[in-house]
Structure 1
Amino acid sequence: MKWKRSERLVDMTHYLLEHPQKLIPLTFFSELYQSAKSSISEDLTIVKDTFEERGIGVLVTVPGAAGGVKYIPKVSEKVVKEVIDELISELGHSDRLLPGGYLFMTDLLGNPELMNRVGKVFASAFCSQEIDVIMTVATKGISIAHAIARHLNVPVVVVRRDNKVTEGSTVSINYVSGSSRRIETMVLSKRSMKSGQRVLVTDDFMKVGGTMNGMKNLIEEFDCTLAGMAVLVEAAHTDERLVDNYYSLVKLKEVNEKDRTIKLEEGNYFSKGGYDR
């Protein structure tokens, strides 16, 4: 079967979007579409220009016999601001206010379209780094972790508060919760990670950073490296942060439970270099 160019472009675009961060040899496309490498290169140039113009991402070409092309998801500054503004607008409703200064976010975390965009925003911040695993704590950070992992094309590991028989042999640590100052436990299956992997941790909400710090300590138990931290919403806190190398999209600046008012602002995503200006 001889593919028409329009058919090649559609199918090639779909394949690249479904396999982010994967180096694909030109011979793969050449054999698949029964076309010369020169024609494939021309097609990829069209896709590359369209991706960059539309803010979908970038195509990186690696020369040589072992080279190929790789799609790297990366959003524009405009798109990041749109996502942040939407989050601030949605989270600013007074009926989201919960006791203790927390916000109800379950509906947003369960919104696949929004989480996909959030995942791509965070993936853009780490697209130039080597990331092997995304880690989060059960349960609310799971949707964010999978969204980021989708765009970085890496697996997700979920830390639990208690041991499950289905996890097999586990590693557990005790850590101090930043907000309540209580001793908490984290458990992770020994099969979840391999020594030497670079791990990106994420969560939906952070006060002082006790949970993030606990995951950092757990990573060290596996002889792995912390590659970065990504949090959807951070709370402005007068106490000293237990972590400082993190990216946030939204900051919960002030909560007045009596008046039921919520003050939100842009997080530190841009100030931490999440978008390369």
Structure 2
Amino acid sequence: MSSGNSEGKDPAGRIVVSDAVLKIDSFLNQQVDPDLMNEIGREFAARFASESITKVLTIESSGIAPALMTAMRLRVPMIFARKKKSITMQGDLYAAPVYSYTKQEVNEVTVAKKFLSVNDRVLIIDDILANGAAALGLAQIVEQAQAKVAGIGIVLEKSFQEGASKLKEAGYRVESLVKVASLQNQQIRFLEDVPVKG
């Protein structure tokens, strides 16, 4: 898919910041498109319909919109891991370190223990999959609760980075709605657009 101009902006409002960073704040990361989120929720719910999901888990803040719409479709609660502890969150927490590639920092994300139990089958939803740190951190939290990671749903996977491979090698089912093969030369190329060799 062509970027459309030298700034790397395409008609959908996505902006290629570098060969590794895609800015999607016009419909997901800051401004949210409700109709798109509704369709994303419908698709994730359909893909994981047979998994007997009891909770949907995400990380604040960009994962909240697609996770909430997915939870609504599945008719289960949605939980989000916090990046900063509030004064109302003391003790009784599951926690995991998560490195943010775009912010170049490590956050200890937390979920109150009362929201996850050993009987839960948890669907993890996140906006972007790059190196897999966020999804792996959320999976650690689920496993600390001795609950089951039933699957991981990703809105946009950067397939040229190692996140998807890491998650699959760890034994998790990963479903990505969009797979980006490359952001080189200010162009967004989707995986289905890349010829398969052999």
Shift of 1:182: 6.5
Q: Which of structures 1 and 2 has the bigger CA Rg? A: 1
Shift of 1:168: 4.5
2:16 equivalent in structure 1: 97
Contact 1:178-1:242 at 8 Å conserved across structures? no
Separation in 2, partners of 1:172, 1:161 = 12
Query: Which of the numbers 23, 37, 57 marks the counterpart of 1:135?
Result: 57
Identity of aligned residues (%): 23
Runs of 4+ in 1 over 6 A off after TM superposition: none
2:189 equivalent in structure 1: 263
Alignment TM-score, normalising by the size of structure 1: 0.57
Bigger drift between 222-231 and 191-200 goes to 191-200
Unaligned 5+ segments in structure 2 are 1-8, 194-198
Deviations 1:229-264 (A, max 9, x none): 0000111235473201200011111112xx422112
1:191 equivalent in structure 2: 114
Query: Which of the numbers 82, 91, 110 marks the counterpart of 1:160?
Result: 82
2:68 equivalent in structure 1: 146
Trace 1:66-105 onto structure 2 (pairs within 5 A).
96-99=15-18, 101-105=20-24
1:209 equivalent in structure 2: 132
Change (3 A) 1:148 1:93: closer
Change (3 A) 1:92 1:173: farther
Separation in 1, partners of 2:14, 2:63 = 22
Greater relative contact order: 1 or 2 (C-alpha under 8 angstroms, separation 6 or more)? 2
Separation in 2, partners of 1:111, 1:103 = 17
Alignment TM-score, normalising by the size of structure 2: 0.78
Query: Which of the numbers 252, 257, 260 marks the counterpart of 2:180?
Result: 252
2:158 equivalent in structure 1: 235
Unaligned 5+ segments in structure 1 are 1-89, 268-277
Query: Aligned to 2:188, what secondary structure does the other structure show?
Result: strand
Contact 1:94-1:262 at 8 Å conserved across structures? no
Shift of 1:210: 1.4
Amino acid in structure 1 at the alignment position of 2:55: V
Contact 1:94-1:261 at 8 Å conserved across structures? no
2:6 equivalent in structure 1: none
Separation in 1, partners of 2:51, 2:144 = 22
Query: Aligned to 1:243, what secondary structure does the other structure show?
Result: helix
Separation in 2, partners of 1:213, 1:190 = 18
Amino acid in structure 1 at the alignment position of 2:115: S
Separation in 2, partners of 1:261, 1:93 = 13
Amino acid in structure 2 at the alignment position of 1:214: G
Deviations 1:189-228 (A, max 9, x none): 1222222211000100011211111111110111211110
Shift of 1:95: 5.5
